[in-house]
Structure 1
């Protein structure tokens, strides 16, 4: 990412975070250097509670790795083989691995590397592309971004329910912080700003 975590955290919280969430939202990342694999954790703290927690073990503990192995077996995807120049069957394996990782992220189970990669991508994209990204972690940063104005938020208000469950919290948080409510009457959505 090119910056220390403290510099990146400051940039995320002071440059990108919308005014209505400053002082309420903080980003936390640490690495446990005494751990055998130097693992760590990430979370977004909102009003001193932790949300969007990155857990390096979730992929294994929650069964995604078993699902990955089972899927590869069902599709007869051979294990990677080193040839001296590269791996055989790498594309086939990566395609399945990417799908399972996408599923885990949509379920709110992600690793620190997923978050740091999302931050890097988010910072390099225009805000319009960030909020429309296929990656829900990027959309999490984007929905709290100061560059998303009230008009855009009103358009996004009807998309809350189609977001992954864990991400709905951040959409509602931003809408509430800007005092934008949604009211549904039959299939129609009416927006109302609190005064």
Structure 2
């Protein structure tokens, strides 16, 4: 599944939403593997040309497979004929991986679509790690909002905390207690 509309157009829109203090340092890349059966690859967020978040489809699908087996073993549920149950287990595995910060390229596109079609206020309320990262890079999130997040950010995933710290440093905000 290739991204539709064109990735170049979406990337331009995404870059236009990045705050001025980080615009030259942040980049988003989509790498598709033409010889892969589904032509999916990975999406990457880089800071100063260093990969901070790699959303590789192959890695995510492998992790999801193992997570499904963990769930099955935990519940001693190996009934592969129950389609509804299989879908439920797969969905649970996928949700657990997203909470761990493991994403596939398709997750990036899905979240990007939600991000583009939601208000920044709604996006900030999301529990999704990737959505929070996009919000922390967003120019519509001002210094006052960043300062208000100071305490709640401590309960977030380490990736979210890393991007929060990056944004605050770029904005020259003191966040130390």
* TM band (smaller chain): 0.7 to 0.9
**What is the aligned-residue RMSD (CA, Å)?**
2.0
Distance 1:158 1:71 in 2: 33
Residues 23 and 54 of structure 1: CA distance in aligned 2, closer, same or farther (over 3 Å): same
Q: For structure 2, list consecutive stretches of 5 or more residues without a partner in the other structure.
A: none
User: Which has the larger Rg?
Assistant: 1
Q: TM-score, normalised by structure 2?
A: 0.88
Aligned residue number for residue 34 of structure 2 = 33
Match status 1:131 vs 2:132: no
Distance 1:75 1:100 in 2: 15
Aligned residue number for residue 59 of structure 1 = 60
**1:29-88 alpha-carbon deviations (Å, 9 max, x no partner):** 0212123331311111111111110111223544x422313423525373355xxxxxxx
**1:67-125 alpha-carbon deviations (Å, 9 max, x no partner):** 313423525373355xxxxxxx42x3333322221221222211000110000011111
Q: 1:52 is paired with a residue of what secondary structure? A: strand
Greater relative CO, 1 or 2 (CA 8 Å, sep 6+): 2
Match status 1:147 vs 2:140: yes
Q: 2:21 is paired with a residue of what secondary structure? A: helix
Distance 2:155 2:45 in 1: 21
Q: For structure 1, list consecutive stretches of 5 or more residues without a partner in the other structure.
A: 82-88, 185-195
Q: 1:157 is paired with a residue of what secondary structure? A: coil
More strand by share: 1
Distance 1:20 1:165 in 2: 22
Q: 2:37 is paired with a residue of what secondary structure? A: coil
Give the 4+ runs in structure 1 shifted more than 6 A: none
Distance 1:80 1:72 in 2: 13
Q: What is the 5 A alignment of 1:52-131?
A: 52-62=53-63, 64-73=64-73, 74=75, 76=77, 78-80=79-81, 89-90=83-84, 92-131=85-124
Aligned to 1:175, which of 160, 168, 172? 168
